[in-house]
Chains A and B, each alone.
Chain A
Amino acid sequence: MGAADVTAVPAVRLTGVSKAFGGKNVLSGLDLEVPVGTSLVVLGKSGVGKSVLLKHVIGLLKPDSGRVEVGGVDIWSVSARERDQIRRRFGMSFQEGALFDSMTVGENISFPLRRHTRMSVAQVRDRVAECLELVRLPGIEAKGPSELSGGMRRRVGFARAIALKPEILLFDEPTTGLDPINTDALVRVIQKLRESLRPTAITITHDLKVAFQVADRVALLEAGRIRIDLPPADFEASDDPRVVAFVQGDSAMDEETAPLEVSG
């Protein structure tokens, strides 16, 4: 493979990725390609393995078989140190924020800066303030994670994820469990991050509204594979039964939950 055209190499490519936990297949031969600069939203029911998929992208989980490539490099064929180099190109936001609770908000956001850059104390302080500004929570550096609401914790998690100006953003269920107002605030933050950083983004969610607001492409994960991968408008208009079932939230059309309906 030549590297003639850099933009032709997708930011992230998964080929035939399979993963089983305790004998149960979660991903089975999953293929996925995310071109540089696109925002992909992966939809799927709870427990279908969306988070597992995301954790494979950044190398938090190692596939039982298949390849995970970032910028054309197979992340499991390189050394642990090179893998860490690759991870610096990512910013990942976790479901509950996953802030380090032994540190303040400011220390959380500056953690990657202090660890991976030679920025001065003043530069770090400015960058932290800048990141908090981006997630619309200015001036809360000195607070502890336990003093924040769930939505604020996630936004601080975003701020920490973008501190190193990553090329690829990963959002794991950014709005799950939040009220509509906070959800909207969070979606606006994601849109703003996309505008200001122009990163590649992969968002995992089961919230359709969020999906259509932030996606260039919408994919549906089902039974361990990506079944549909379409632009939002086409996805919404699709007459594929799996998509229709998901969009309409119809459990009767779903194999797993269907017997419940029949038994009556």
Chain B
Amino acid sequence: MLEGFGRFCELLYRTILGAVRPPYDLKALRDQVVRVGVDSVPVVFLTTLFTGAVMALQTFNGFARFHAEAYVGSVVAISMLRELSPVLSGLMVTGRAGSAMAAELGTMRVTEQIDALVSLATDPVQYLFVPRVLAGIIVLPMLVVLGNAMGIGGGYLVAVKILGANPVIYMDNTFQYLRMNDLWSGLIKAAFFGGLLSLIGCQRGFDTEGGAEGVGRSTTTAVVIVSLAILVSDFFLTKVLF
């Protein structure tokens, strides 16, 4: 456990060093932004849409008991922006892109492609980690902005179309209690999760041992560790960011 954290810190340091030193590989960064970001749009779209929808259903059901139905829009918006959109996007992108990074780097390790990089005088951490980690940090906040809109939209659809709320009043309600801080704290979380999932995904792949079986193990542990790390760090980030 402690050893794993030490390895994490070492690779974090090497990634930061690799990011600030030339050469800067913009093409690789662009490729990763597409693979981590653009390709994750459908999955984030659906996840947050339905989460917003079910939030509206559930809070309406509960709030009706003390006649607070008017606040459904606010609750959906605040929970999506601050909490659900960043965490769910983080988890979904982990399942899609974090696992793929672990599998790709793991395969490169067991087929000696990482050794080949070193033999060609290329720092594998700089070449492989930096574009992926940067892409995660850049892309996740963007996905979360989309997720926010989808979540609020999902809630709106349920409240207005199914539960019969007044569309104007519902939208009014949605934005009435929102603060800028709700948006920012969610985006900061998202950037943090994006960097975290890429770094751990890369690290698990990079440290793969033992053939095809090892690649499978790395992929699984990457998803498990990142998911736990996101949920645990989410609590502390929330505490710090309010």
Given contacts A92-B116, A94-B116, contact A85 B111 (CB under 8 A): no
Say if the beta carbon of B23 comes within 8 Å of chain A.
yes
A214 to B121, CA, bound (A): 26
Contact A60 B121 (CB under 8 A): no
Contact A96 B115 (CB under 8 A): no
Say if the beta carbon of A236 comes within 8 Å of chain B.
no
Q: Which residues of B contact A96 (CB under 8 A)?
A: 111-112
In-complex Cβ contact of A101 among B23, B113, B120, B123 (8 A): B113
Contact A84 B119 (CB under 8 A): no
Q: Which residues of A contact B116 (CB under 8 A)?
A: 92, 94, 98-100, 157, 160
Q: Which residues of A contact B115 (CB under 8 A)?
A: 55, 60, 94, 98
Closest to B118 in A: A60
* Binary B-proximity of A75-111 (CB < 8 A = 1, otherwise 0): 0000010001101101110111011110000000001
Contact B23 A115 (CB under 8 A): yes
In-complex Cβ contact of A58 among B112, B113, B119, B122 (8 A): B119
Number of chain B residues close to chain A: CB under 8 A: 14
In-complex Cβ contact of B121 among A87, A94, A98, A100 (8 A): A87
Q: Which residues of A contact B108 (CB under 8 A)?
A: 100
A196 to B173, CA, bound (A): 78
Q: Which residues of A contact B23 (CB under 8 A)?
A: 115
Q: Which residues of A contact B111 (CB under 8 A)?
A: 96, 98, 101
Shortest Cβ distance from A187 into chain B, in angstroms?
22
A91 to B119, CA, bound (A): 7
A151 to B122, CA, bound (A): 25
A157 to B112, CA, bound (A): 12
Contact A111 B120 (CB under 8 A): yes
A111 to B115, CA, bound (A): 14
Given contacts A80-B123, A84-B123, A115-B23, contact A98 B113 (CB under 8 A): yes
The chain A residues found within 8 Å of chain B, CB to CB, are 55, 58-60, 80, 84-85, 87-88, 90-92, 94-96, 98-101, 111-112, 115-116, 157, 160-161, 170
The chain B residues found within 8 Å of chain A, CB to CB, are 23, 107-108, 111-113, 115-116, 118-123
Other than the given A55-B115, A111-B120, 10 more pairs (CB < 8 A) read: A59-B118, A85-B121, A87-B118, A87-B119, A92-B119, A96-B111, A101-B113, A112-B121, A160-B120, A170-B119
